Amino acid sequence: MKVVILAGGFGTRISEESHLKPKPMIEIGERPILWHIMKEYSYYGFNEFVICLGYKQYIIKEFFADYFLHTSDITFDLAKNEMKVHNNYSEPWKVTLVDTGLNTMTGGRIKRIKEYVKNDTFMMTYGDGVSDINVRDLLEYHKKNGKIATLTAVNVGQRFGVLDISGKDNSIRAFREKAESDGSRINAGYMVLEPAIFDYIDGDNTVFEQEPLRALANMGELCAYKHNGFWQCMDTQREKEKLEKMWATGQAPWKVW
């Protein structure tokens, strides 16, 4: 099963570093947060990735093209024009990098990778958040409920818009903006999607979190997987520093590998 990762946005809220590189390439412990997300999925046996690129896409392409340069010890023999890679552990990954446009919205980026996932169920998440979610359990939950889409719902305070979730079967009934008194869960990504999702995305200007998900919610085809463990996005420099501290002190909950 393929894992689609949205990695094409501008990352304007963490502009201290995103003016130099795409946000998914901002490093936690000297590895891009994109790498951390891929390691999470790989731990559970998901090793085929489709990465949706946009802003400064060449940086992500160069990272994978020169993967050993970034992750291994290397000896350069300049006289012989030779390079020897040491401790060259290779990840079992197959990575497809797709230019989904500079200004394309999230829904449009997903629409553009249709040919790479074809008619198969696929996973999808954002390239700026890490979690200790068991994605195997998430997949089983999705299969059991039989909805077009399942998203991971977490409760992390009230910075984002919130979800109204039915108490009976965890169906998501509506999206709405947050209120001061809310204690509702938010969309954390880590989704499982059926290929029927493409029918709900018009084109490049479609924001996935708006029309498509609202339509599915109204139809009862959107389900919430409630995750009570760790999840953290990296929207700001402060959040980046928080994740960096967790990694440096050996207390990174998302490091399941």
- Residue by residue, pLDDT tens for the chain (257 residues) are 999 999 998 766 666 666 789 999 999 999 999 999 999 999 999 999 999 999 999 999 999 998 888 778 889 989 989 888 887 677 999 999 999 999 999 999 999 999 999 999 999 999 999 999 999 999 999 999 999 999 999 987 555 556 777 767 788 777 655 554 455 688 999 999 999 999 999 999 999 999 999 999 999 999 999 999 999 999 889 999 999 999 999 999 999 99
- The CA-atom distances, in angstroms, between 33 and each of 39, 52, 101, 250, 254 are 10, 15, 21, 16, 11
3-state secondary structure of 237: helix
- Cβ atoms 125, 24 nearer than 8 A: no
Q: CB neighbours of 2 closer than 8 A, spacing ≥ 6?
A: 48, 49, 50, 116, 117, 120, 122, 123
